[in-house]
Amino acid sequence: MRVLILGGDGYLGWPTAMYLSRRGHQVAVADNYFRRRAGMELNCEPLLAVPNLHQRAQLWKEISGRQIDVFIGDVCNYDFLAKVFREADPEGVVHYAEQPSAPYSMMGREAALFTLTNNLVSTCNLIHAVAEFAPDCHIVKLGTMGVYGTPNIDIEEGYLEVEHQGRKHKFLYPKTPGSLYHLTKSQDGDMLYFYCRIWDIRVTDLNQGPVYGIVTEESGADDRLASIFNYDDIFGTVLNRFIVQAVAGHPLTVYGEGGQTRGYLNIKDTLACVELALLHPANPGEYRVFNQFVETFSVNELADKVVEAGKELGLKVKINKIPNPRREAEEHYYNPAHTGLLSLGLTPHYLTGEVLTGMLAFVRRYRERICPGYILPRVKWQQ
Ligand code: USQ
């Protein structure tokens, strides 16, 4: 399949590109290097020094013999996106080209406006490019479980059937996002659903939980192919942060009471889910939603697991509950459905002790690069 990955330089974008390329798809990637620039501006650069996208594609070609086409530019610029569509002629597009960090979106007015503009304009441009250049192309948008929030009822997969005064109707599941970033992911979903109904485009929204992991099968051969791996307070996700904190000898930063529960998945499962969605496209006019995670854990459970895994490697890991910089429920009901991707054939990777010790051992090789100043949270939800 000809697949275009928007945001192909990021934590998920580049591993997805290699994964699909190795499995015989013809892959093109586009990126504006937002994440790299933000890392320099905010002083939160990734653990590994990552070659630029052209260099990574060249390296991948030397190792795998396969070509990944690279386009550097901004998806919010329609002329750029139109050029990419004309050249790549995609049958499937993976949309990762959004500002992905909740703390970033809560830094202040400028970051809020950037997040809103980037995430909604990129999605709107994509919809129009599909309609103009590739009407049959399937959009796979990376969504987030965070759009649902933590309601006191079970979370369904995208839709909720409501019975009201004796009549029934199926609505999109109500959204209660907990950051401006998560709000934009709810808004882009509404926009995609709208155009599915009006223009009959095909869309799959992958409502993903926080991802963990560094190495994938494709990057295993050469660390220069590894993903952009952040452990800072802005771009790092919680388990990746805890792994680096454990290696650095920093107490694990549990925010508040630590009862916050989310659905987690290994980066390897993200890649498999995206391919499954591409291989089984939504129908014209269908806005299909999958809840993309494998297991649920509270922050306390994750911290305890890292302490245990640390013992295997002789690390004495401590836990420190610090005031929560976010506004979120610290104890809550959480029971989200996630059957769609399993029914398409996902074989999940679980968070075992071996996975955790593997991550700790990998990060330990880069211990000298860990910057302790990146660890404590700087962004508060309430200024
Ligand atoms: N947390 C801590 N300590 C930390 C970091 C985080 O206790 O040092 C807590 C947070 O308060 C939160 C939970 O861990 O309750 C998850 O935080 P996170 O930073 O791993 O995840 P989040 O900000 O929600 O965002 C991440 C990705 C985002 C994706 C989302 C999926 O950055 O792109 O959409 O995970 S979800 O959380 O399901 O919305």
Q: What is the CATH number of the domain that holds 21?
A: 3.40.50.720
What value does the mean pLDDT of the chain take? Answer: 97
Among the options 19, 115, 150, 185, which is catalytic? Answer: 185
Question: In this structure, is residue 221 part of a structural domain?
Answer: yes
- Taking each helix axis from N to C end, the angle separating 238-248 and 299-312, rounded to the nearest 10 degrees, works out to 40
Q: How far is the CA of 218 from the centre of ligand 1 (A)?
A: 26
- Give pLDDT tens digits for 239-263: 999 999 999 999 999 999 999 999 9
Question: In this structure, is residue 68 part of a structural domain?
Answer: yes
Claim: this prediction has a pTM higher than 0.75: yes
Question: In this structure, is residue 381 part of a structural domain?
Answer: no
- Look at the alpha carbons of 13, 123, 114, 241 in this order and tell me if their dihedral is positive or negative: negative
The answer to whether 302 touches 209, Cβ cutoff 8 Å, is: no
Q: Please report the pLDDT score of residue 220 as a whole number.
A: 86
Question: In this structure, is residue 380 part of a structural domain?
Answer: no
Question: In this structure, is residue 382 part of a structural domain?
Answer: no
Q: How far is the CA of 381 from the centre of ligand 1 (A)?
A: 13
Structure confidence at residue 381 as a pLDDT band (50, 70, 90): very high
Active site residue 117: no
Q: How far is the CA of 288 from the centre of ligand 1 (A)?
A: 24
The residue whose CB lies within 8 Å of the most ligand 1 atoms, and thus the one to mutate among 95, 107, 150, 237, is 237
- For atom 23 of ligand 1, which residue has the closest CA? 102
Secondary structure (3-state) at 189? helix
Question: In this structure, is residue 120 part of a structural domain?
Answer: yes
Q: How many domains does the chain have?
A: 1
Strands 261-266 and 295-298: antiparallel
Q: Is the pLDDT at 116 greater than 90, yes or no?
A: yes
* Structural domain span for residue 202: 2-374
- Give pLDDT tens digits for 145-186: 999 999 999 999 999 999 999 999 999 999 999 999 999 999
Q: Please report the pLDDT score of residue 383 as a whole number.
A: 79
Question: In this structure, is residue 383 part of a structural domain?
Answer: no
Question: In this structure, is residue 379 part of a structural domain?
Answer: no
- Give pLDDT tens digits for 40-77: 999 999 999 999 999 999 999 999 999 999 999 999 99
Task: Residue 318: name the closest of 248, 260, 246 by CA.
Answer: 246
